[in-house]
A and B are shown apart, each in its own frame.
Chain A
């Protein structure tokens, strides 16, 4: 442990912490754009710069380890002035149509401009206008809004391993893109959508949320993915009682990472094919029935077979898709109501 001072207060933190982590854990927010926990620290956006006593330059807090006796200012005049300049440079080449941007109200660039009262930029000049790439099935790529933080590049390479993105060109011409500037279908992209979830601005946006609602109207519900046994935690984005998308949740073992199924496989919930009523087959044709009618029918049929044949005439297949509570009741039903141990499920397959 080392002892450091942040904004005049003393803290004791582990020696392998960065200044950013030390501050975060003690409730001090330092703005970041390119930093994402778990990914390589590039220190490229400079938003997280802080002033350290005895050091001439401002230091990127994400990339600077704490040292004993360090004295840090996270919101000094010099720091704020530097952050303002960075923001002014960023918005100098940013599509500022915030009015209709899907990330309006949930955008780091917007939040920080507000926080540091940056209303405009003195750096007038060329702006890049890239056509919006809508080619892939799952999300749009609007690089006129990209701030080159590089998080999509890192998460794709370091977590998925697909290495779809990289920086192209230099300086003002720098652009994030895929190999040969091609559409994602022509790359190794596995549609995991993690790039969309780490994008701090509106450059990468799920198609399913386009024009569906403002971020503040969307309820986010943390739950467990319905597909495989990893049990990823994710947030369902809900608007008007409909799921419109999925975003990362970092509380589980998946650390906010997802695959194509968790990220984009939820639409079946709203499929027109969903069963909405109990069905009873009569003369080979299914007819809609009320619950009362259907349950009475099932109870009657089961009761009849139970009286005639006993428990050994029954078998039940439970579901690896249902909850623990439902599975518990299912085997309890088979054992105590139908008097049989003939209960199993697909674990054996």
Chain B
């Protein structure tokens, strides 16, 4: 959908710069395509900022009035002159100059990114460098500008907003801040742990080492979705107790001691929050299948079995009322208001119209801060033993670990994994289109069919993580960004050899 809108904008005469190692469809629409090496985003973005600064194309007024940290930051980008950036990224210096000029001259420019930016050991720094570029050119806080992270799942925004994070209560209220802990202790009427918890990759490590004894998984499939899958499986098998709630017996559910059947979106009532922070209704279209019940009912029943007194006779609508009472950004949300169209948070009061874009007059932290960030190489790069760079992603017709899309007609469009490999690389390996290969990394191996294509550059291969027959995440590296713990799913080193089907 986002792709549709970008293509429509180009057709309406807008300019498009695409930065992607892959020849994605949007490159056909791009005025400039920056085909940088995976894992060199910061160098590329700093290079663009360097040119904008050098040629005096930045928004002096915006930076002076609304930002801080400019002086220190400008010293960092000083070192990223286009020739040096060309060496790191592989993108011609002239093209970097051209892109910098095009971007800075736009009256309003948007930056749209997804996991290509975040799934790196430098993920947080990558995002910061994009934010630097946006504030340098005054492209924040106005309609049609801004930095847009695209959410991959229907309610990943909502799950974050609701506090399914180890350091936040609902509405990003810190668990280790005395004030918010006090508030929730009162609100829920029980003592609360005071230290932030473990992140998902840390949980897997803790399960592996035996510190975590029991894991409760509601609607996730880490066996296929998480990096270094062999490690994940060992971790899950090492648990004393694993309970999984899902609509299918996924690869993860198979390892559980108890599996609780859940319901699909068509059988439940509730809300999802989308990538533009819009809270929207989910409506029940069909009755329950078999002996199933909604996840919320299961959680309520289990809490009550364990001695609590959770009562929501009016169901999800009543739960949303509780959310609104403890989550300031959802304060004005109720089902009546969501009936015709969703609302974008922050929506603090019941007469607030919602907020289409953030940082209008002031940033949430006050001043917009420049962060000087340096290029950091990926944790594992190709070498003699593992000479090819593996990057992972998705295809249009499948979704995530395939538990839903593979059980629909979409399966007929792409029934199996096709590892992309450049014709030059394929020639070196004597691999033809349609050949089967074994791909091996330091962590595991998988078998896959090959598609020979210039969609990706030489020396690189591309796999999705949709297919249990080719569980790509056995190969990927669980090396993490030190700030937010996101694993480096976009870069690791592999070797391939041709095998018989």
Per-residue interface assignment for chain B, residues 251 to 264, with 1 indicating a CB less than 8 Å from any chain A CB and 0 otherwise: 00100111111101
Say yes or no: is A229 at the interface (Cβ < 8 Å to chain B). yes
**Inter-chain contacts of A233 with B (CB < 8 A):** 280
Stretch from B42-50, B78-86, B150-158, B362-370 at the A interface: B150-158
Which of A273, A322, A340 is close to B193, meaning CB atoms less than 8 Å apart? A340
Q: Are B293 and A291 in contact (CB under 8 A)?
A: yes
Stretch from A17-25, A113-121, A145-153, A261-269 at the B interface: A261-269
**Inter-chain contacts of B211 with A (CB < 8 A):** 312-313
Stretch from A59-67, A75-83, A276-284 at the B interface: A276-284
Q: Are A223 and B285 in contact (CB under 8 A)?
A: yes
Say yes or no: is A168 at the interface (Cβ < 8 Å to chain B). no
**Inter-chain contacts of B170 with A (CB < 8 A):** 328, 331
* Number of interface residues, chain A, beta carbon within 8 A: 106
Main secondary structure of the interface of A (DSSP, over half): mixed
Closest A residue to B260 using CB positions: A278
Q: Are B278 and A294 in contact (CB under 8 A)?
A: no
Question: Given A317-B203, A325-B316, A349-B486, are A228 and B293 also a contact pair (CB < 8 Å)?
Answer: no
Q: Are A226 and B408 in contact (CB under 8 A)?
A: no
Say yes or no: is A29 at the interface (Cβ < 8 Å to chain B). no
Per-residue interface assignment for chain B, residues 267 to 291, with 1 indicating a CB less than 8 Å from any chain A CB and 0 otherwise: 1111111111011111111110111
Which of B266, B272, B308 is close to A236, meaning CB atoms less than 8 Å apart? B266
Q: Are A334 and B216 in contact (CB under 8 A)?
A: yes
- Give A82 Cβ to nearest chain B Cβ, in Å: 33
Which of A330, A338, A344, A349 is close to B203, meaning CB atoms less than 8 Å apart? A344
Say yes or no: is B8 at the interface (Cβ < 8 Å to chain A). yes
Query: In whole angstroms, how far apart are the Cα atoms of A229 and B286 in the complex?
Result: 23
Query: In whole angstroms, how far apart are the Cα atoms of A137 and B247 in the complex?
Result: 25
**Inter-chain contacts of B319 with A (CB < 8 A):** 325, 328-329
**Inter-chain contacts of B404 with A (CB < 8 A):** 226-227, 265, 268
Closest A residue to B164 using CB positions: A318
Say yes or no: is B113 at the interface (Cβ < 8 Å to chain A). no
Interface residues of A in 316-333 (CB under 8 A from B): 316-333
Q: Are B270 and A228 in contact (CB under 8 A)?
A: no
Say yes or no: is B219 at the interface (Cβ < 8 Å to chain A). yes
Q: Are A321 and B154 in contact (CB under 8 A)?
A: yes
Say yes or no: is B302 at the interface (Cβ < 8 Å to chain A). yes
Say yes or no: is B372 at the interface (Cβ < 8 Å to chain A). no
Closest A residue to B115 using CB positions: A349
Q: Are A313 and B487 in contact (CB under 8 A)?
A: no
Q: Are B257 and A301 in contact (CB under 8 A)?
A: yes
Say yes or no: is B434 at the interface (Cβ < 8 Å to chain A). no
Say yes or no: is B93 at the interface (Cβ < 8 Å to chain A). no
Question: Given A231-B154, A317-B218, A332-B188, are A161 and B165 also a contact pair (CB < 8 Å)?
Answer: no
Which of A227, A277, A281, A314 is close to B256, meaning CB atoms less than 8 Å apart? A281
Say yes or no: is A1 at the interface (Cβ < 8 Å to chain B). no
Question: Given A230-B1, A274-B248, A301-B241, are A327 and B213 also a contact pair (CB < 8 Å)?
Answer: no
- Give A86 Cβ to nearest chain B Cβ, in Å: 30
Point out residues on B near A: beta carbons under 8 Å: 1-4, 7-8, 11, 25, 29, 115, 119, 150-167, 169-170, 175, 184, 188, 190-193, 195-201, 203, 206-207, 211-220, 222, 225-227, 240-241, 243, 246-249, 253, 256-262, 264-276, 278-287, 289-296, 298-303, 305-306, 308, 310, 316, 319-320, 322-323, 340-342, 396-397, 399, 403-410, 412-413, 484-487, 489
7 pairs, A vs B, C-beta closer than 8 Å: A223-B265, A223-B266, A228-B399, A231-B272, A321-B220, A330-B295, A349-B489
A224-B281, A261-B396, A317-B200 given. 13 additional CB < 8 A pairs? A231-B342, A268-B264, A281-B258, A309-B213, A320-B153, A320-B155, A325-B270, A327-B164, A328-B162, A328-B163, A334-B216, A349-B486, A349-B489
7 closest A-B pairs by CB: A276-B290, A231-B274, A229-B151, A323-B270, A319-B219, A341-B197, A320-B153
